[in-house]
Homo-oligomer: A and B are copies of this chain.
Amino acid sequence: MSLKTVSENKCFGGQQGVYAHASSETGTEMRFSLFLPGDAAGPVPLLTWLSGLTCTEENFTVKAGAQRYAAEQGVAVLAPDTSPRGTDLPGEHDAYDFGSGAGFYVDATEAPWFDHYCMYGYVTRELPALVGEHFPVDLARQGLFGHSMGGHGALTIALKNPETYRSVSAFAPIVSPMNCPWGEKALTGYLGADRAPWRRYDACALIEDGARLEHILVDQGEADDFLAEQLKPELLEAVCDGAGVPLTLNRRPGYDHSYFFIASFIGEHIAYHAERLKG
């Protein structure tokens, strides 16, 4: 598959790139951002960041300050967009929490979404293969992290693919979309009103249904405006407790939902992943 270079900038001795390609999963052109550390002797671990509602590949790339830590740890950091772009389905651009900018990392089964809204397949199948084809990354050493809707994406994708992803962490994740307004709206729209198939895209339900991970790291700001209504980390805590899944949940006093919170702890998360990916 061919790749179009949108931009490449030297950063912390490595290279911050943005690329575009025709996606077979979404049927659209997709963009992603990739940071490659400098001076790597061979293929480096690949850590994929999944962004939250309204984001493109750019928000994380310019706001999180991840490049310093990725360079220090010798890992590549990949950040895809959060939905297909350039389509104009009915209502697709009407709300910030559904449609464009809000793919929720599912493969939609409802019309008209299923033709394009296949972000689960894009993130787990097409994108890593494409990146592995074009850049010196080691697909046998992958980790996954994300924020809010992207934290939901990271948790659910890792729970369903523990053999692919050696490490997973999240900032302020939606831990149970079946139990919050953002999630109920999105899953109804993409998967239909029957709640049974939703369980495959809900971190808490996946653990209840038997999925397991060696460890999960979560950071959550206590001054996050979405904490009580949408994020509900206590649900993940309870289900991990019940299933014996080791969870480190850092509640951070005073921090909100913004990239200023993410930037403050992204170094700790990248070090956490690097420790698990470098072995």
Indicate how many identical chains form the complex.
2
- A62-B259, A259-B62, A260-B16 are known contacts. Are A223 and B10 too (CB-CB below 8 A)? yes
> CB-nearest residue of chain B relative to A222?
B10
Residues of B within 8 A of A254 (CB): 10
> CB-nearest residue of chain B relative to A16?
B260
Whether A11 and B260, one on each chain, are in contact in the complex, defined by CB atoms closer than 8 angstroms, is yes
Interface assignment of A248: CB less than 8 Å from any CB of chain B: no
- A68-B263, A263-B68 are known contacts. Are A256 and B63 too (CB-CB below 8 A)? no
Residues of B within 8 A of A10 (CB): 221, 223, 254-256, 260-261, 264
Whether B65 and A263, one on each chain, are in contact in the complex, defined by CB atoms closer than 8 angstroms, is yes
Query: How far apart are the CA atoms of A12 and B254 in the complex, in Å?
Result: 11
Whether A9 and B261, one on each chain, are in contact in the complex, defined by CB atoms closer than 8 angstroms, is yes
Query: How far apart are the CA atoms of A10 and B264 in the complex, in Å?
Result: 9
Q: Closest CB-CB distance, A206 to chain B, in whole Å?
A: 32
Residues of B within 8 A of A11 (CB): 260-261, 263-264
> CB-nearest residue of chain B relative to A252?
B10
**Cβ proximity bits A54-67 to B, threshold 8 Å, 1 near / 0 not:** 00000000110101
Whether B67 and A260, one on each chain, are in contact in the complex, defined by CB atoms closer than 8 angstroms, is yes
Residues of B within 8 A of A87 (CB): none
**Cβ proximity bits A16-56 to B, threshold 8 Å, 1 near / 0 not:** 10000000000000000000000000000000000000000
Interface assignment of A258: CB less than 8 Å from any CB of chain B: yes
Query: How far apart are the CA atoms of A67 and B258 in the complex, in Å?
Result: 14
Q: Closest CB-CB distance, A38 to chain B, in whole Å?
A: 9
Whether B65 and A13, one on each chain, are in contact in the complex, defined by CB atoms closer than 8 angstroms, is no
Query: How far apart are the CA atoms of A68 and B262 in the complex, in Å?
Result: 12
Q: Closest CB-CB distance, A69 to chain B, in whole Å?
A: 10
Whether B258 and A9, one on each chain, are in contact in the complex, defined by CB atoms closer than 8 angstroms, is yes
Whether A9 and B67, one on each chain, are in contact in the complex, defined by CB atoms closer than 8 angstroms, is no
> CB-nearest residue of chain B relative to A12?
B264
Q: Closest CB-CB distance, A10 to chain B, in whole Å?
A: 4
Q: Closest CB-CB distance, A126 to chain B, in whole Å?
A: 27
Please indicate which of the listed interface residues A11, A67, A221, A261 has the most CB atoms of chain B within 10 Å of its own CB: A11
Whether A260 and B68, one on each chain, are in contact in the complex, defined by CB atoms closer than 8 angstroms, is no
Residues of B within 8 A of A9 (CB): 256, 258, 260-261
Residues of B within 8 A of A258 (CB): 9
Residues of B within 8 A of A63 (CB): 62-63
**Cβ proximity bits A255-273 to B, threshold 8 Å, 1 near / 0 not:** 1101111011000000000
A contact residues vs B (CB 8 Å cutoff): 9-13, 16, 62-63, 65, 67-68, 221, 223, 254-256, 258-261, 263-264
Given contacts A10-B256, A67-B263, 18 further A-B contacts (CB under 8 A): A9-B256, A9-B258, A9-B260, A9-B261, A10-B221, A10-B223, A10-B254, A10-B260, A11-B261, A11-B264, A12-B263, A12-B264, A62-B259, A63-B63, A65-B68, A67-B260, A68-B263, A68-B264
